[in-house]
Chain A
Amino acid sequence: EVVLTQSPVILSLSPGERATLSCRASQSIASYLVWYQQKPGQAPRLLIYDASNRATGIPARFSGSGSGTDFTLTISSLEPEDFAVYYCQQRTNWPLTFGGGTKVEIK
């Protein structure tokens, strides 16, 4: 099983600041890494697929990078609606696995 480790667990930032979230895989997953955003009481929303491709309707302030075992989700300038929990997911090996999540909270 591919274990995904997200860091930090909690990221405290102010609106307008840059957020950098990390996802590390226990083995190489090429570029088959996906990012989701989840707000309280809501279903997850697809943000980024295959490490760096923004999903339909996702603002340009969200970007993804990485390959192999190290991946990064960057939010260039936090908007109030961006404070949420972010999960990564790999789609290379069975079972599909998610990281434990990073909560981006208002400082």
Chain B
Amino acid sequence: QVQLVESGGGVVQPGRSLRLSCAASGFTFSNYGVHWVRQAPGKGLEWVAVIMSDGKSKFYVDSVEGRFTISRDNSKSTLYLQMNDLRAEDSALYFCARDRGASALYCDYWGQGTLVTVSS
């Protein structure tokens, strides 16, 4: 069955960096786009970034553009999110989610999330 397992979250000071990982299994990872979606405590969902199946096309929400980098290693079936210059407003539960296709731009399977807290 499809599984997505995020890791790498934690408490980090403002301005520091963190790298999230998402290990995928149960499907051919290289055939699908993959997203990061976040949810601040008690708040709604916010789409963060997507990387298409080809690994070349990447898109970000404006608030993270230039600070976050999404990448993938198809040989390891793993998605990454490198987060630099973290801010308090980046504190959230970060979900990894599979695109329904190569670039359908919506998500059919989700991980359980990894929590990022940015605080001094």
Interface residues of A (CB under 8 A from B): 1, 32, 34, 36, 38, 42-46, 49, 55-56, 87, 89, 91, 94-101
Contacts and interface: CB of A to CB of B under 8 A. Distances in A.
Interface of B: 35, 37, 44-47, 50, 59-62, 95, 97, 100, 104-108, 110-113
Chain B contact surface mostly: strand
Given A91-B106, A96-B59, A98-B46, 7 more contacts: A1-B62, A43-B97, A43-B110, A43-B113, A46-B108, A91-B104, A98-B44
Contacts of B95: 43-44
B50 A98 contact: no
A91 B50 CA distance: 12
Contact of A49 (B35, B106, B110, B113): B106
A44 B100 contact: no
Given A94-B59, A95-B59, A95-B60, A46 B47 contact: no
Contacts of A46: 100, 106-108
